[in-house]
Chain A
Amino acid sequence: MANYYQPEIETMPYDQLRQLQNERLVKQVRHVWDNVPYYRKKMEEKGLTPEDIQSVDDLHKLPFLTKADLRDAYPYGLMGKPKSECVRIHSTSGTTGKRVMAFYTQHDIDLWEDCCARAIVAAGGTKEDVLHVSYGYGLFTGGMGLHGGGHKVGCLTLPMSSGNTDRQLQFMEDLGSTILCCTPSYAAYLAESIHERGLQDKIHLKAGIFGAEAWSEDMRRDIENKLGIKAYDIFGLTELSGPGVSFECEEQTGMHINEDHFIAEIIDPDTGEVLPEGTKGELVFTSLTKEAFPLLRYRTRDICVLSRKKCSCGRTFVKMAKPMGRSDDMLIIRGVNVFPSQIETVLMQQGYAANYQIIVDRVNNSDTFEVMVEMTPDMFSDSLAKVARAEKELVGALKSMLGIAAKVKLVAPKSITRSEGKAVRVIDKRKI
């Protein structure tokens, strides 16, 4: 049984979908050429005009946009509409450098909210649901995106925003929230708090829509078990609109990309060459319908795989695997690529809390790599030898997952700050 918000689009036969993409791409390239001098210049440098792009098959000819371009063009340089026609700005947290500013016309917001509505309906949401939105509201896209989606579906939408856990739980209990939207780390934190307070029987959640952070399959199972829900992944980028670029269906085997609005490509991050379906590489998006911030071939830095295998939910949209991690999140430690999500996977498998902090520093020109892990009752004992053995096992498991040795620092339970928004997992003190 499948739940669709816009069935005619979500299950559109592939040929038809491709035709729609072709038409929209041609129109979008023309829009960008006419309105975004920054990108027009890039096209001209490659000797391209809009006539060179007749269909999706020509997409590979277009130049890429990167985060560096967004920085260069900051703040208004990539805008596709005059300010007078734009109605909203959202922005990234800026944790990995300069903030990214994204602009929206009313039409852009409308389509974005449709995308979020599809995700909510795919997670089983209907107008009977109480949608508890604990993503941050404000510049961050999470809160207002799911909020708008909730309105479209007709859910009773609770604009909780993040933080104030006591109030979150009180509302959940009193109002009978049925669908929770927040970051996975905050979901885990809320689940923990519910158990601590013995509120399991008073909370009636059935589903969760969690995104904006990398999270592992083990963490998903843990949250599902603790909250008694089905947890759906959602993906998005502020640059492209926000959450809802892709979303999971009940099969939970990847996120369907809203292909009527976005074309996804996988490229070799080193050569820029487009890779065939099923190959791992960097995810690149072209926005087909955005007016105010129309990015073409935007390199996400996310490492990912696409699959067009038929999905049991009936959607024809291509599915993207959970990104391995954003290459922005990726750390290069002693020359080895390390994703925080890999560390999380090891911790969950070894029975630790998924709350951890990675501290990287450089001492005498050599990287130091420390993982702070909270002690759990299972591994604590009156015997230091036993504790040391458990610690050694963890060090071994990390080493076999990552390929380099990490120093594990066991700390008291609950001593690593619980996140109410996006978790701070990495502290990189290296000054390079």
Chain B
Amino acid sequence: MNIYQISVFLENKAGKLAEVTKLLADSNVDIRAISIAETAEYGLARLIVDDAPKASSILLQHGDMISMTPVWAVEVPDRPGGLYELLTALAEAHVNVEYMYSLFTHREGCAYMVMRIADEPKFLSTLGDRGIKLMTMEELGLK
């Protein structure tokens, strides 16, 4: 039920991120979510794309340093307080979120958060208890 995230190493230089997005654009890969983390010297872009195997082989061929990580896509009600409810539920269960960001995709009153969690069994049981839905690759139209 995981989805796959691609992380790309970015040197701290103007145009590095543009280069990555151009490679994906040229191969008709659609970016569904992106988040950037950075230090003063370098950064990394975390990406959810519609075709992760294709994107990763393009980036590797180009000589980029990448890493594939399983992450979770959680359904969140698209209304005020939606994210708060989810995070409260996780906080009460002492589940730590390493990082999260949102997917561009919205559907029928729902938004989706990409989450990376350390304690996955506890995370999954908490979602189960609260009836919170995890999205599959198929449901999000990801390969």
A388 and B39 contact, CB distance less than 8 A: yes
Give the bracket for the number of chain A residues in contact with chain B.
Answer: 10 to 19
Q: Which residues of A contact B116 (CB under 8 A)?
A: 382-383
Contacts A377-B65, A411-B11, A412-B65 given; indicate if A383 touches B98 (C-beta within 8 A). yes
B28 within 8 A of A: no
B11 and A384 contact, CB distance less than 8 A: no
Complex: A387 Cα to B9 Cα, angstroms: 10
Residues of A349-376 at the interface with B, using a CB-CB cut-off of 8 Å, are: 375-376
A412 and B9 contact, CB distance less than 8 A: yes
A413 within 8 A of B: yes
Contacts A383-B98, A384-B37 given; indicate if A412 touches B11 (C-beta within 8 A). yes
B side interface size, CB within 8 A: 19
Complex: A381 Cα to B38 Cα, angstroms: 13
B98 and A375 contact, CB distance less than 8 A: no
Q: Which residues of A contact B44 (CB under 8 A)?
A: 382, 384, 387
Contacts A382-B5, A410-B42 given; indicate if A375 touches B65 (C-beta within 8 A). yes
Q: Which residues of B contact A388 (CB under 8 A)?
A: 39
Complex: A380 Cα to B69 Cα, angstroms: 11
Residues of B1-47 at the interface with A, using a CB-CB cut-off of 8 Å, are: 5, 7, 9, 11, 37-39, 41-42, 44, 46
A409 within 8 A of B: yes
B125 within 8 A of A: no
Contacts A411-B11, A412-B65 given; indicate if A382 touches B39 (C-beta within 8 A). no
Q: Which of A376, A377, A382, A413 gathers most chain B CB within 10 Å?
A: A382
Residues of A367-422 at the interface with B, using a CB-CB cut-off of 8 Å, are: 375-377, 380-384, 387-388, 409-415
Complex: A415 Cα to B65 Cα, angstroms: 11
B67 within 8 A of A: yes
B63 and A380 contact, CB distance less than 8 A: no
B64 within 8 A of A: yes
Q: Which of A380, A409, A411, A412 gathers most chain B CB within 10 Å?
A: A412
Complex: A410 Cα to B39 Cα, angstroms: 11
A375 and B9 contact, CB distance less than 8 A: yes
B63 and A414 contact, CB distance less than 8 A: yes
Q: Which residues of B contact A412 (CB under 8 A)?
A: 9, 11, 63-65
CB distance from B115 to the nearest CB of A (A): 12
Complex: A410 Cα to B11 Cα, angstroms: 8
A413 to B, closest residue via Cβ: B65
Partner of A381, one of B7, B39, B41, B42: B7
B67 and A410 contact, CB distance less than 8 A: no
Partner of B46, one of A382, A409, A415: A382
Q: Which residues of A contact B98 (CB under 8 A)?
A: 383
Complex: A377 Cα to B9 Cα, angstroms: 10
Complex: A411 Cα to B98 Cα, angstroms: 25
A382 and B65 contact, CB distance less than 8 A: no
Complex: A413 Cα to B60 Cα, angstroms: 10
Complex: A377 Cα to B68 Cα, angstroms: 11
CB distance from A410 to the nearest CB of B (A): 6
Q: Which residues of B contact A415 (CB under 8 A)?
A: 11
Complex: A411 Cα to B43 Cα, angstroms: 10
3 A-B pairs with least C-beta separation: A382-B7, A382-B69, A384-B37
- Give me 27 A-to-B residue pairs in the complex whose CB atoms sit less than 8 angstroms apart, sorted by A's number: A376-B65, A377-B65, A377-B67, A380-B65, A382-B5, A382-B44, A382-B67, A382-B116, A383-B98, A384-B37, A384-B38, A384-B39, A384-B44, A387-B42, A387-B44, A409-B41, A410-B9, A410-B41, A410-B42, A411-B42, A412-B9, A412-B11, A412-B64, A413-B63, A413-B64, A413-B65, A415-B11
Question: 6 new A-B pairs (CB below 8 Å) besides A380-B65, A380-B67?
Answer: A375-B65, A380-B9, A382-B46, A382-B69, A412-B11, A413-B63
